[in-house]
Amino acid sequence: MKRLAAALELARRSRSRNGKEAALATAMAAIARDSDDLALATAARLASGRMLAVGDGRALGVGGSLLVDVACAATRYDAETVVACARKTGELAEAFALLVQRTEAAGDRPGLSFQEIAHLTDALAAEPGRAGKRALLEAALARATPLEIKYLCKTLGGEMRIGAQDGVVEGAIARAFGLEVARVRLAAVVVTDVGELAVLARDGALDDARLVVGRPVAFMLATPMESIATPLDAGAYVFEDKIDGVRAQVHRSADGAVSIFARGLDRTTHAFPEIVDALRDAPQALVLDGEIVAVDAEGHPRPFQALQPRLQRKPRQGSPERPDDRDATRVALVAFDLLADASGPLLALPWTERRTRLEALASALGGDTLRVNPTSPLPIDRPLEAAIDEAFRAARGRGHEGLVLKRSDASYDAGRRGQAWIKVKRAHATLDCVVVAAEEGHGRRAGILSDYTFAVWGGPESNDELLVIGKAYSGLRDEEIDTLTRRLEGLVLERRGGVWVVRPDVVLEVAFDGVQRSARHTSGFALRFPRIVRVRDDKRPDEADRLATVEALFEAQVATGHREEAAPAPARSKAKTQVAAAKKKGPRVAQNQLSLFGGGDDDS
């Protein structure tokens, strides 16, 4: 692990993608040369910030407070000091490593092998008790070097943040084994566990990468209509309602085992036992793509909020599935694609062929829990705009979010966001925004964080700046606010008065009545009557919407006469770069970030 930790440090320090890839590639090549499959797979997972493989249903149950206890024991400082140090560095992992560095014989620590780390991972997942987990961690970390502690704890805390997202790790794998990166990427959409991907790459076996039932593949994504520049060939498209539920990939293997994966490829099987039941008796192996929705007694879809209690369920330790877990909320799977059946993977087939098979399968299965999302061709007898408009209004009338247009001849492009699928949300739909600050509410909501300042990304790449677009108070239920308060408390960078500046991590879907120019926010725009639709736990902050989308929404309003282009100069002040840096978090950032709120002094 020493070699990998050094490479991760080098990658973190490197400002270029090329430098990051090179650092990781060198380490992975060396690990592949000197160690076995398990070591290489573990190293590749760690490099992408994971202890467990994508889709592994187990939970390690290692939270911040447990790590603080472990750090206290290892460094002989008490929690008050450890937490103060963590606040200074912006995260526990870095502070933990710096404190270990000053302990006696820090230089004599032997370091951990990847076998030891793999063993620790399994043991943590199997150990139900906090004390037991603590003992495991203390024993392992007592042997780890400071740099190993830094990167293990970053990974355990789910905060690798070295600017090496999967794309960089894939690039590093390609370099390490002398392969074309495109080939690695192609394999990565079906082999979503980067550990297995690395082993396949080393063995020159990437061509063997294929969808395996029971293992999640990357979801195909839709491009927002606003981002489509080229004219559409209306005759080539069908449309479906865009269902407001939980995107899910449901696998049923030949032996009847059912697994459900959410959009982030996390295993959420335990939350939906009735879907497991409905598919267990399917006549064959299959992989479905669809949305899970809550339904009322008549089978009509209910608002997304009705699903929240299900989603907050945690898998039981040691036994990820909870087949007896039912409640009053009825759910259904609205399937819209079939990725595999008994004949094997269907990803390369055109949509029409997959659709035919999906419909046949669903009608053979029967029942009420599995449905197929209705689809219609786009009418070609009138202007495209008018046709989409009419379909959009009809979908909204049925209580759905909008439309998804699909090219009928397109393959299932796992992990891609292309022109084959186009989502129509429109101006009066929603934006996914990142929370950058929160405030305590007043009156009934005193002491809880109920007012959220949120932002969208400025540029086309994920690694850029967050621009504030507004603030919202309403929309969430009290329980949701409580949950969010606890989560935001763990993300606080700086607290001044009632304003908590938080690390951008929480994504909120925000609805509004319109977009207008505004000098008030750093984005240069403000939302009219913003309200929170839901917390997007399934989205990472870098998946939030971008300024370009807001600009397009604004332009669309101007075009339709809903808004006029009377533009006060946008307030793109210094604050924007400071919020951008917040992604990287840390105390200096924290202090600077305060200038968001008009205060803050830089140097000591």
Partner 1 sequence: MGHTLGLDLDEAGVCLRALGLWLDPTRPVSAAFVSHAHVTAGALESGRVIASPETLAVAGALQKRPPGKATAWDGVLELPIEPAFGGGTARLSIVPAGHVLGAAQLLVEHPKGRLVYAGDWSGEAGATHPAGVAVACDELVVTTTFALPIFRFEAAATVVAALVDWCQARLSEGVTPLVLAHSPGPAQELVRALSARGLPVSGDEAVCRACAAYEELGVVLGPVGSHGKDARPPAERRAIVAAPSTRAAELRVRGKSAVAYASGWALLDAAVEQKRADAAFVLPDQADFDGVVTMVRATGARRVFATRGDARPFAHLLRGVGLDARALDLPAIDDRATS
Q: So which residues are the catalytic ones? A: 242
The binder of partner 1 chosen from 38, 214, 518, 597 (CB under 8 A): 597
Residue 103 token pair: 């302990």
Instruction: Assess 602 for contact with partner 1 (CB under 8 A).
Output: yes
| Residue 604 binds to partner 1 (criterion: CB under 8 A) | yes
Binding track over 93-122 against partner 1, x by CB under 8 A:
-xx--xx-xx--------------------
Nearest to 330 by CA among 358, 292, 366, 359: 292
Residue 581 near partner 1 by CB under 8 A: yes
Q: Does 92 bind partner 1 (CB under 8 A)?
A: no
330/293 Cα distance (integer angstroms): 9
Residues 464-503 that bind partner 1 (CB under 8 A): 496-499
CB 247 within 8 A of CB 336: no
Whichever of 541 and 586 has its CB closer to partner 1, that residue is: 586
Binding of residue 205 to partner 1 (CB under 8 A): no
CB 272 within 8 A of CB 323: no
Residue 138 is encoded by which pair of tokens? 């203390």
Tell me how far, at minimum, the Cβ of 335 lies from partner 1, in Å.
44
CA 167, 168, 172, 174 torsion-angle sign = positive
Alpha helices in 127-259 (DSSP H): 130-141, 146-156, 166-176, 181-188, 194-202
By CB under 8 A, residue 584 contacts partner 1 = yes
DSSP secondary structure string for all residues of 5-57: HHHHHHHHH--SHHHHHHHHHHHHHHHHHHS-HHHHHHHHHHHTT-SSPTT--
Answer for which of 4, 46, 85, 331 binds partner 1 (CB under 8 A) is: 85
Minimum CB distance to partner 1 smaller for 18 or for 343? 18
Half-sphere exposure in the Cβ direction for 370 (13 Å, CA): 29
Identify residues 426-445 at the interface with partner 1 (CB under 8 A).
439
Please, what's the b/e burial string for 545-577 (b: 16 or more CB within 10 A of its CB; e: otherwise)? Answer: bbbbbbebbbebbeeeeebeeeeeebbbeebbb
Which residues on adjacent β-strands are paired with residue 291?
Answer: 247, 334
Should residue 23 be labelled a site residue for partner 1 when binding is judged by CB under 8 A?
no
Residue 193 binds partner 1 (CB under 8 A):
no
Q: Is 90 in the site for partner 1 (CB under 8 A)?
A: yes
Let me know: does 540 contact 547? Beta carbons within 8 Å.
no
Residue with tokens 């160690």: 35
Q: Minimum distance from CB of 62 to partner 1 (Å)?
A: 21
Applying CB under 8 A, which of residues 35, 81, 375, 483 lies at the interface with partner 1?
81
In whole angstroms, the minimum distance from the beta carbon of 49 to partner 1 comes to 15
Nearest to 537 by CA among 510, 507, 503: 507
Of 584, 590, 392, residue with least CA distance to 492: 590
Residue 519 binds partner 1 (CB under 8 A): no
* CA distances, 559 to each of 20, 60, 386, 537 (Å): 44, 52, 15, 34
Nearer to partner 1, 116 or 440 (CB): 440
Cβ-based nearer residue to partner 1, 183 or 584:
584
With binding defined as CB under 8 A, does residue 148 bind partner 1? no
- For the bound state, the minimum distance from the C-beta of residue 88 to partner 1, rounded and expressed in Å, comes to 6
SS3 content of the chain, % helix, strand, coil (to 5): 40, 20, 40
Q: Which of 88, 134, 183, 396 binds partner 1 (CB under 8 A)?
A: 88
**In this complex, which beta carbon is closest to partner 1, that of residue 84 or of residue 364?**
84
By the rule CB under 8 A, 218 interacts with partner 1: no
Q: What is the dihedral of CA 457, 463, 465, 466, to 10 degrees?
A: 40
CB of 568 to partner 1, least distance (A): 20
* Number of residues engaging partner 1 in binding (CB under 8 A): 39
Least CB distance to partner 1 at residue 160 (A): 12
The DSSP result for 469-495, as a single string, is EEEE--SS-HHHHHHHHHHHHTTEEEE
Candidates 89-97, 105-113, 180-188, 387-395; binding stretch for partner 1 (CB under 8 A): 89-97
Nearest distance, CB of residue 532 and partner 1, angstroms: 19
- Tell me the residue ranges of DSSP E strands in 43-116: none
Question: By CB under 8 A, which span of 45-53, 129-137, 414-422, 584-592 interacts with partner 1?
Answer: 584-592
**List 5, 7, 8, 12, residue binding partner 1 (CB under 8 A):** 12
DSSP, collapsed to helix, strand or coil, labels residue 385 as helix
586 binding partner 1? (CB under 8 A): yes
Which residue, 349 or 502, has its beta carbon nearer to partner 1?
502
Residue numbers at the binding site for partner 1 (CB under 8 A): 12-13, 15, 77-78, 80-81, 84-85, 88-90, 94-95, 98-99, 101-102, 439, 496-499, 581, 584-589, 592, 594, 597-599, 601-604
